[in-house]
Chain A
Amino acid sequence: MTDQPMDLLRGTLDVLILRTLAWGPMHGYAVSRWIRDRTGGTLSIEDAPLYKALHRLEHDGAITAEWGTSENNRRARYYALTAQGRRALRAEEAAWRRYADAVFKVLEPA
């Protein structure tokens, strides 16, 4: 591994967002922080694609959005997983694990 942050694989961002929101409703900034903290800066995630993905997922019905009040008493847009989003997350997670297993099997010497 190098110190350079890795580029994100296609579709990865959606899984990460859905996984994050599985913990509970949060606003965009919180989602951004959460992913940044969890990956420890390994993945280079800009906020612009993150917000695009949030709105696309909302459009597709995986998440819903609602205005609420943030920790610092400001108006913030809160995203929450829908039943459809939860189903999508389960499917994507399973696919990811299979994918990762396959890659590891190749990378690790037998």
Chain B
Amino acid sequence: MRRLRFRLPWRRPGQIGHDVDDELRFHLESRAAELVAAGLPPEGARAQAEREFGDVGDARAYMNAVDRDAERRRRRRDYMDDLKQDIAYAFRMLRSAPAFTAAALVTLALGIGANTAIFSVVNGVLLKPLPFPEPDRLVRLWLANPKTGERRSMVSAVDVDDWRDQRQAFADIGGYFYMDGLSGSDLTGSGDPERVSIAYFSPGFFATMGVAPLAGRPPRDDEAVRGGHDHVVTLSYGFWQRRFGGSRSVIDSTITLGSEPYQVIGVMPAGFSFPDPRAEAWVPYSSIPDASIPRLRQVATMVVVGRLKPGLTAAQGLADLDVITARLAQQYPQSNASWGAGALVPLQESITGAVSGSLYVLLAAVAFLMLMACVNVASLLLARATAREREIAVRMAMGAGRGRIVRQLVTESLVLAVLGGAVGVVLARAGLSGLLDMTAGQVPRVNEVRLDWQVLAFAVALSLATGVLFGLVPALRATTGRLHESIRAGGRGSVGGRSRLRTALVVTQVALATVLVVGAGLMTKSFVRLLDVDAGFDPGQRVAVMFTINTTRHPRYQQLYRDVIDKVRTVPGVIEAAAVRDAPFRGAGENWSFAPPGWIDAPGKRLPAADVNFISDGYLHTIGARMVAGREFGHDELLDSSAVPVVVNEALARRWLPAGRAVGSELRIGAGRARVIGVVADIHQTALEKPPEPAIYVDNMMQSRVKTTVIARVTGDPMAAARAIRAAIWSLDRDMPISDIFTLDRAMSDAAARPRLLTVLLGAFGVLGLVLGAVGIYGVLAFLVSRRRREIGVRLALGAAPGSVNRMIVGRGLALASGGIGIGVVAALALGQFMQGVLYGVTPRDPATLAGVVAVLAAAAWFASWLPARRASRVDPAVALRAE
């Protein structure tokens, strides 16, 4: 049993001063009176009393100060006591209503958990600064050509070095060349041969990033130039651990990359994953031989990063770049005319810009879900407040202040919210790992996502905010002064205002649900559209095996190529097989310039470019691509002495070749000529949502690349066939590095992974929203029915048909829902533009989707109303009338 502490009323500072004066006056007057009684004259007595007292002013000041401090401490103590008492009371109340507590906790935990998980991703990817020193000074620099409309073009390695030499506004500038799965080299020597993913950099790259190596030293400027000792390699932490067991002795040792010796000079720290987490090593760009990528101003392969000087703005940087590019255009008109400064994009934005739209859409959706959860708990609390009306009225009648009761009710909500938040964080932890698995490779910086203190602070703040949000209104409601009616009516009166509030809450909830379901609907439709895109090939029952041919051991690698394809074609289960450099969704080939028929050169006019892929005979047939005109390469393509045969895609033919006469027309590629022997329907090589670029296919018997993918159409289990194919390849060369095995189905599904992720998450939020909305309608109507039991009983007793009662209740539910749906549709239309960026092939105001959503919500509302309505129509008049 708790002992109630007697509590003094609090005193204000003015009151304290007054009390001190009173006390002092009482003392002095009492003493003076005593002295007068002993025979002193009144004035003398007064003076004597003051003399005996000492310094009255000093005492007064001291007493005031001490009392004020005591008062402050007392208030604090009282407050803590109240809080402790309120929390204990809250726990008691929550235990006494387990159904309510469970419902509220589940709602809150889901809401807070979902928000915390999504927020941790947004925080890690978008909000946290990049893991480089002073990351806000880092920018990406692009070229632009107003004549051709190109706004963000890459830069040639020669130009990057000139930019660096002439820079004024930048502390440093550096470029890099990295293409996933393309830029790299074969590591041979000790251990298994393997393909190493490499980022090639120009001088200034490491100084720009500003990150020091974990071990060893950064490359010197003179090591990253032609003619310097540029065979140096810096390892990534992950690669160093995996390949060299994290041994320091690897530094200064020599490894063999692409058959040439490279000196290991350093290892970068674990957090350094620029330009890509998959990059395993950094090597000077100058070490790339001209035979691979010619070092010319026309060959733009580099992405450029710069570090602005302290205090300078991006605008000043852009002005500097303008000056430099103008100077270069004048100096080298052949290559640089009409190429000017394009854009200066903050590095953070350029890394995460592509996904920020999706993430913010998710964050918004999850915030809506949180609002719904709040509204849901608020209406639960409101329903409970009705049940507790008598308790509250009695406490108020016994003298508890309204503020005190509101505080106690809000404490209850806060306890609920904090408990919900705790469970929510546990859910978020579990959900986050699932979310990260789903986003792997789709979202940059995912490796930086953590459930850290910032996220926990967010979860705590969210819990407290929701606690106040959903607790305050019902608490204020519950304590509005209708004391007498409440007590007199035995807790059944005065529901009018409250039911209006509940109605408003339900309408809000349905509106929120509508917005969520519209989002889910649009995303689903967009995703279906995306899956409907004709990829240009048939991914079913196709497996791909990727390997690289070691040209040192196989100088006549074309023969090996031929042998591999022939061998694979004999593997049991393989129906047909062919080879390609870049399989669909695993690279776009090489970007080559070409001159279409009738091209006339002019200064500043750049040749159009096409994605060039190297394919074997039968490749297009094997992947199920459709020939529009002509044919693909045969087994022994006869080499016409005058021109190389090529196949082009429709995108190239439509744009650059004479209509209807594409086959037979000639292209100029470099110094050589190519004759089009066939046109193939566009094959998506990169993203499904982007229209395919012009593409040229070259027979790999004439020109080929070490990177090869064998693709086979198989019967039975594709992966079993893939293993047999791998065995066949190894039977020709046991040391052939096989880098990947996958089905085209998987490649296709990876390509749709990001939209799928968004669809799944928004879909889940939509369903949750729908359920919460339906529960809200159900709750209000169930409450309505229980309150109007008597009235319904009377109606039924007077001969009303159960059907009409049913219709009345359902009508009320649909009326509530239609208000909410209406508001929701308007809100969804207003918010639609924010989804524009993540949608494919559907507008945010798609009428079919909106109509569908309205139908779904109306159906849910009807169902939610039908349950209580059925109960109402089954009311037994006799029981209902006797009940009260």
Contacts and interface: CB of A to CB of B under 8 A. Distances in A.
Interface of A: 27-29, 32, 46-49, 51-52, 55-56, 58-59, 66-67, 70, 72, 74-77
A27 B26 contact: yes
A59 B66 contact: yes
B598 interface: no
Interface stretch (B50-58, B170-178, B653-661, B802-810): B50-58
Nearest to B34: A33
B26 A70 contact: yes
Contacts, number: 65
Nearest to B23: A77
Main secondary structure of the interface of A (DSSP, over half): helix
A49 B62 CA distance: 10
B59 interface: yes
Given A74-B26, A77-B19, A77-B26, A48 B31 contact: no
B63 interface: yes
B66 A48 contact: no
A24 to B, nearest CB: 18
B69 A59 contact: yes
A47 B19 contact: no
Main secondary structure of the interface of B (DSSP, over half): helix
Contacts of A72: 30, 33
A56 B59 CA distance: 11
Interface of B: 8, 19, 22-24, 26-27, 30-31, 33, 52-56, 58-59, 62-63, 66-67, 69-70, 73
A48 B24 CA distance: 10
Given A28-B27, A70-B26, A52 B19 contact: no
Contact of A46 (B26, B52, B67, B70): B52
Contacts of A52: 59, 62-63, 66
Nearest to A49: B54
A65 to B, nearest CB: 9
A66 B27 CA distance: 16
A75 B59 CA distance: 20
A48 B53 contact: yes
A83 to B, nearest CB: 13
Nearest to B59: A48
Contacts of A28: 23, 26-27
Contacts of A76: 23, 26
Contacts of B31: 29, 32
B22 A51 contact: no
Contacts of A29: 26-27, 30-31
Of B19, B31, B66, the most chain A CB neighbours within 10 A belong to B66
Contacts of B27: 28-29, 32, 47, 51
A47 B60 CA distance: 12
A75 B26 contact: yes
B66 A55 contact: yes
Considering the complex of A and B, which 5 residue pairs feature the smallest CB-CB distances, nearest first? A48-B54, A46-B54, A47-B53, A48-B59, A59-B70
A74 B59 CA distance: 22
A52 B239 CA distance: 75
Contacts of A51: 23-24, 27, 59, 63
Of B22, B30, B33, B62, the most chain A CB neighbours within 10 A belong to B30
